[in-house]
Every structure is written in structure tokens, then in C-alpha cells.
Structure 1
Amino acid sequence: MFETHLDATYAWLGIALVSVATAGVAAALPATPPPDASGVAHTIDSVANSEYPATAEHGIAAGRIRLTERSVSLNGGGGTAQASIRAPRITPLPAERAGVSRDSGLRRVLAGVPPDAVFDDPEDFAAAAERARSTDHQWRPAPERLTVRRVHYGGVHVTLVG
């Protein structure tokens, strides 16, 4: 009456192994989803493709960001996500470093100051944007909000992202 059947022992061992494997897979899954890089790219594209001056902000739930003319990458607790930017030529502002003024001309324009109040002429504005585009865009701490601003100054049209 109390004898163990050999088939039952193998069944219990199989169930135990499947349970351990399932628990291991569940523990390996990230606790949070990857950051929303495609949403950030969509916000940038929407502003940059506009005919008129425009401003938008997008909240970021990530620890680090890397922004180039053609892509945005976010890294957070859920992993890393990257999305392509389809808009024509954006100007990502360089990472703020120690010893570099946080109040650069382009940052002031991004914050809402008219470009003619910051730059002497449209050529100076275009040159500053070109310098910002040519900097090395490394990973940096992500802000809580990303600001995108399309600005027209004379014949110069620039989309600032920072």
C-alpha cells in the first residue's frame, strides 16, 4: 500500500526541474521595460519636420542618454533602447562638462531666448549649431525632460535638442 511507483518518482523530479527552470527564467527578466527611445525620436521628428518654429518636451525615464544627429539611445534599468531619427539634421547639444559654462548661446536659445538676442547674426547662429553637431556625442546622464526647439533666424533653420 505504501510502495513508491517508479513512474511517480520520475514525474515528481521532472516537475521539480521545470519549476526551478521557470523560476530562473522569471528571475532573469528585467523588472522594468526598456526606456521609450521611439517616443523620444517621434517627439524630435514632429518638431524638426514642422515648417514653423515649435517647442516640445518629452519626459525620460532612463539613467543615461546618447543623442546624435541620426539616433537617440536610452539606457535604464530595463536595458538599452535605440531609435532612429528621421528628421533632417537636428542639433544635439553637447554634454555639459566641468569647466564649460552651462549657459552657452545655444542652451539659452533652447531655453526660449530669441536667437537674435544671443547671436549677432544668422551666420554666427549657424556656426554655433555646426560646432554643436560636430562634437563627440557620448553617453551622459539623462535629464528628466528632453526639450526640442525648432528656431528660425534669418534664413537659418535649426532644431535644437537638449
Structure 2
Amino acid sequence: MFETHVDATYAWLGLAVVSVATAGVAATLPASPPPDASGVAHTVETVATGEYPATAEHGIAADRLRLTPRSVSLAGDGGRARVSLRGARITPIVPGEGSGARDRRLRRVLDGVPPDAVFDDPDALAAAARRARAADHGWRAAPERLTVRRIHYGGVHVTLVG
């Protein structure tokens, strides 16, 4: 009456192994989806390809951010996401700007100061933008919001992102 069937023992062992394997796979899955780099890229491209000066902001749900003149990359608990920009080149403005390739004047313009109040002439703006695009574009702590501003000063058209 209390006999153990050999087949039942193997079935229980097999079920236990499958359960442990399933739990292991579930534990390795990310807890959250990857950051939304395509949404950020869409906001950047909408402003960058516009005909007129414009400003936009986009919220970021990521831990780290990498901006280059041709791409936006985000990283967080859910992984990494990178999107190439198809429109005009952007000018990344990184936090903690100092002298040299990182120009505080560009940060002021991104924050809303008119370019003619910050730069002596359009050539000075173009030179500062070139230096910012050529600077190091490494990973940085991501802010809560990304600001995109397209400006026109004389014949110079620049899209600042920071």
C-alpha cells in the first residue's frame, strides 16, 4: 500500500530540477526595461531639424548618459540603449563645464541666455560649438531632464543638448 513507484521518484526529481532552473533564469532577468533612448532621440531630432529656434525638455529615467554629436546613449538597471541621430549634428553640453573645450558660455545659452549677450559674434559661437563637439563624450551621471535648444546667431545654427 505504501510502495514507492520508481517512475514517480524520477518525475518528482525532474520537476524539482526544472523548477530550480526556471527560478535561476527568472532571477537573471532585469528588474526594469532598458532606458528610453529613442524617446530622447526623437525630442532632440525634432528640435535639431526644425527651421526655427526652439527649446524642448525630455525627462530621463536612467542612471548614466552619453551624448555625442551623432548619438544618444542611456544606461540604467534595465541595461543600455543607444540611438543614432539622423538629423543635424548636436553640440553636447556636459555638466561641470570649465575652460578649454568645455565652454561655460554654451551652458548659459542652453539655459536661456540669448547668444548675442554671451558671444561677441557668430564666429565665436561657431568656434565654441566646434570645441564642444570635439571634446570627450564619455558616460556621465544622467540628469532628471535633458534640455535641447536650437539657436540662430547670424548665419550660425547650433543645437545645444545638455
Partner amino acid, structure 2, of 1:144? E
Structure 2 runs not aligned, ≥5 long: none
Cα distance, 1:95 vs structure 2: 4.3
For the residue of structure 2 that corresponds to 1:18, the secondary structure is helix
Q: How far, CA to CA, are the matches of 1:89 and 1:73 in structure 2?
A: 15
For the residue of structure 2 that corresponds to 1:81, the secondary structure is strand
Deviations 1:96-145 (A, max 9, x none): 26xx2798110011011110010011111111111101101111111110
Cα distance, 1:94 vs structure 2: 3.4
Number of the residue aligned with 1:38 = 38
Cα distance, 1:79 vs structure 2: 1.2
TM-score normalised over the length of structure 2: 0.94
Partner amino acid, structure 2, of 1:71? S
Runs of 4+ displaced beyond 4 Å: none
Map of 1:139-158 to 2, 5 A cutoff? 139-158=139-158
Q: Is 1:94–1:135's contact at 8 Å kept on the other side of the alignment?
A: no
Q: Equivalent pairs: percent with the same residue?
A: 76
Cα distance, 1:56 vs structure 2: 0.6
Alignment RMSD (CA, Å) = 1.5
The alpha-carbon distance between structure 1 residues 129 and 103, as it changes in their structure 2 partners (threshold 3 A), is closer
Are positions 1:52 and 2:52 aligned together?
A: yes
Number of the residue aligned with 2:83 = 83
Map of 1:84-103 to 2, 5 A cutoff? 84-96=84-96, 100=98
The alpha-carbon distance between structure 1 residues 95 and 137, as it changes in their structure 2 partners (threshold 3 A), is farther
Structure 1 runs not aligned, ≥5 long: none
For the residue of structure 2 that corresponds to 1:133, the secondary structure is helix
Q: Is 1:91–1:132's contact at 8 Å kept on the other side of the alignment?
A: yes
TM-score normalised over the length of structure 1: 0.94
Number of the residue aligned with 1:15 = 15
